[in-house]
Amino acid sequence: MNKQLDILVYGSLNMDFVAFLNNLPKKGETLSAKEFSMIAGGKAANQAVAASRLGSSVGMVGRVGADYLGEQLLMALKQEGIITDQVKSTPNCNTGIAMVSVDEFGNNMIVTDKGANAFLSKEDIKDSEELLRASKAVILQLEMEQDVAEYIIRKARKNKKYIVLNLAPIVPIDPEVLAMVDLLVVNETEATQLSGIYVNEFSSAKVAAQEIHTKEIENVIITLGENGALLSFPSAIEHYLPPKVTVVDSTAAGDCFVASVTSFWIRYGDLGKAVKKAVEVSALSVTKKGAQSSLPTLQEYENFIVKETTQ
């Protein structure tokens, strides 16, 4: 492969079955949806699409089932210009799915089935090494087997790539491997689990970030929902607030943030500037429904910022 890539994303591809409701169901309650959509998703696929729409060249490594849903997910990635040579079809296995309920305030509840995502293997990572060598940065999450994630991190470090780890869902990664990560991105819940400090606002996030630094991770971001994001270095902490928007659906906001901060970090070489822009892009994403359907293009983001600054 001769083409250089900005970002290589490893991980999950799901088809999201999304129900929009007035309220999220209580235990034992049956509700009728106001609207239903089937939308391409999966944390890794969302991140790949978000980065591509922001102008980065992107490759994807993952697995789908040998079924109609898998074909649709692959088609969606190809239409975004993402290199899919290493997204493999898995015989006798269903494509990963997510069942998503979204209330009128944009809050959600999600149940997933890994399906073919569970079969992403070290052999797949070896097979995709040419893409790794061609890339500047890698993004991964933990919707895969832990040993596979650790293998990816070790291989990326050996190849001297920027490593962005979205520790979601959180699992007990080998401390030696965790210390190889260039940028760790966690939300409040994940930061709480990783640090042992309950995080629910900026001041507690600051304390948690300092605790996470003791694990030899230099750059830590804790996303704070409507309160933006905290960027922490061992010697300094910065807080970036998002513009005020009307939240419609927050399903892929976290994935949008991870992809955006990676894209802008590679582009500008300034992590603070990257986080500021990623917070803004993520705010724009929650104004639209769905996972990949909500992810803004670079032009949409630039138009949004112009509008914000002229109001």
Distance CA 42, CA 50 (A): 12
Distance CA 285, CA 60 (A): 21
213: alpha, beta or left, given left = phi > 0 and alpha = psi -120 to 50?
alpha
Residue 251: how many CA atoms within 13 Å on its side-chain side?
Answer: 35
Distance CA 245, CA 169 (A): 27
- Give, for 229, the enclosing helix (H) or strand (E): strand 229-233
124 is catalytic: no
Distance CA 303, CA 281 (A): 11
Catalytic residue among 16, 124, 249, 255: 255
**Three-class secondary structure of residue 127 per DSSP:** helix
Distance CA 281, CA 47 (A): 13
60, β-bridge pairs? 9
| DSSP 8-state assignment for residue 173 | -
Helix ranges, the chain (H): 43-53, 68-79, 122-127, 129-134, 146-158, 175-178, 188-195, 202-213, 253-268, 271-285, 298-310
Residues assigned a catalytic role: 255
